[in-house]
Amino acid sequence: MGDLRIVDTSATSIILRAEVNFTNPTSYTATIPYVDILISSNGTSLGHVTVENVTIVPGNNSNIVARATWDPLTTGGAKGVAVGKELLSQYISGWNTTITLKTHEGTIPSHPALGRALQALEFTVPTPKLRSPRPPNDGNGDDGDDDGKAHFIQQATMHLLSSSAVFTILSPFRENTLYITYINATAYYKEDPVGHIDYDLPFAVPPGLSESPRLPVDWNLGSVGYEAVRKALGGELKLKAKATVGVKIGRWEERIWFLGKGIGAKVRL
């Protein structure tokens, strides 16, 4: 799956357009006027995928347009909300996440008996990855904990005199702007706390790479972590981050967690 685009939102849901590539291993061709498939994770329903007016051919099928509705509350209830938060949190933290697509009785509305017969079918696919060139590593202060993956937070510049930090952020969307509404985060050098951010003024994250405004940092003065940052003045070191983040897209808003490691942090006065 790829090329995610948000086409609508509500207080509990996000409707996305995605392009799907897959292989039909059979020798059969099928014309599908409409099909509905459940999205789930760990056995809990989180939404639906629908495909309309598509012809499936043997072998590779590319750029099939699908419409996905992410609505954990409606489809999975309170458990769905909890599972959905966990999946989104793992996703923006760069973890290897997957979703399960499963047929159900209403998969083919005009043939419910066929839908019931196909209920046992399910397959798991990886979620679209955050993709961006990795920031260059200058080799200074690396704690050896970089996992080599693209993360929601790509890089940071820490300003000691003004007690502030600016973050380079990677959005998973090509066309839509999301908003960060809340940040409660702690940065660590190895396992030692460096500083804390508590910020609740919304700011925009446009598609691709962008920079946050200067966020106030409450330094953990006298700690081993802060001393490592101070000694890296004019250079760069690698930090970890643990955060609770408020995310808003259109009318939809959620608070999720973020864990990042190997974040390149430039240190400036």
HEC secondary structure over 89-135? HHHHCCCCCEEEEECCCCCCCCCHHHHHHCCCCEEEEECCCCCCCCC
Q: Enter the pTM of the model.
A: 0.83
According to the model, what pLDDT value does residue 150 have? 58
18 and 85 fall within a common domain:
yes
- Pick from 126, 144, 165: which residue ends a domain? 126
The number of domains in the chain is 2
Q: What type of residue is 200? A: D
- 122 plus 172 within the same structural domain: no
Q: Domain containing 224: what range? A: 153-268
Q: Considering the domain boundaries, does residue 145 fall inside one?
A: no
Residues 158 and 242 in one domain: yes
pLDDT for res 143? 47
Compute CA 82 distance to the chain's CA centroid, rounded to the nearest angstrom.
16
The CATH number of the domain holding residue 184 is 2.60.40
- 7 in a structural domain: yes
Please list the residues that pair with 166 across neighbouring strands.
Answer: 157
Q: How far apart are CA 153 and CA 263, in angstroms?
A: 7
My answer on whether 119 and 157 are in the same domain is: no
Task: Give pLDDT, residue 141.
Answer: 44
* Pick from 49, 25, 27: nearest CA to 37: 49
* Residue 17, in any domain of the structure: yes
The predicted pLDDT at position 125 comes to 84
Tell me whether residue 196 is in a domain: yes
CB 122 within 8 A of CB 111: no
HSE value, Cβ hemisphere, 13 Å, CA-based, for 252: 21
Helices (H), the chain: 72-92, 112-117, 224-231
Residues in the chain, total: 269
Do 94 and 163 fall into the same domain? no
Contacts of 64 (CB under 8 A, 6+ apart): 19, 20, 21, 22, 51, 54
Q: Are residues 173 and 213 in the same domain?
A: yes
Residue 180 lies in a domain: yes
> How far, CA to CA in Å, does 266 sit from each of 47, 70, 134, 195, 238?
40, 37, 15, 14, 9
Q: Domain check: are 13 and 91 in the same one?
A: yes
Residues 122, 157, single domain; the answer is: no
Domain boundary residue, one of 110, 126, 142: 126
Per-residue pLDDT tens listing for the chain (269 residues): 667 789 999 999 999 998 888 888 889 998 889 999 999 999 899 999 999 999 999 999 998 999 999 999 999 999 999 999 999 999 888 888 999 989 888 888 888 888 888 777 888 888 876 554 444 444 444 444 545 555 678 889 999 999 999 999 988 787 889 999 999 999 999 989 999 999 999 999 998 889 999 999 999 998 899 999 999 999 999 999 999 999 999 999 999 999 988 888 999 98
My answer on whether 94 and 172 are in the same domain is: no
Residue pointed to by tokens 């598509």? 54
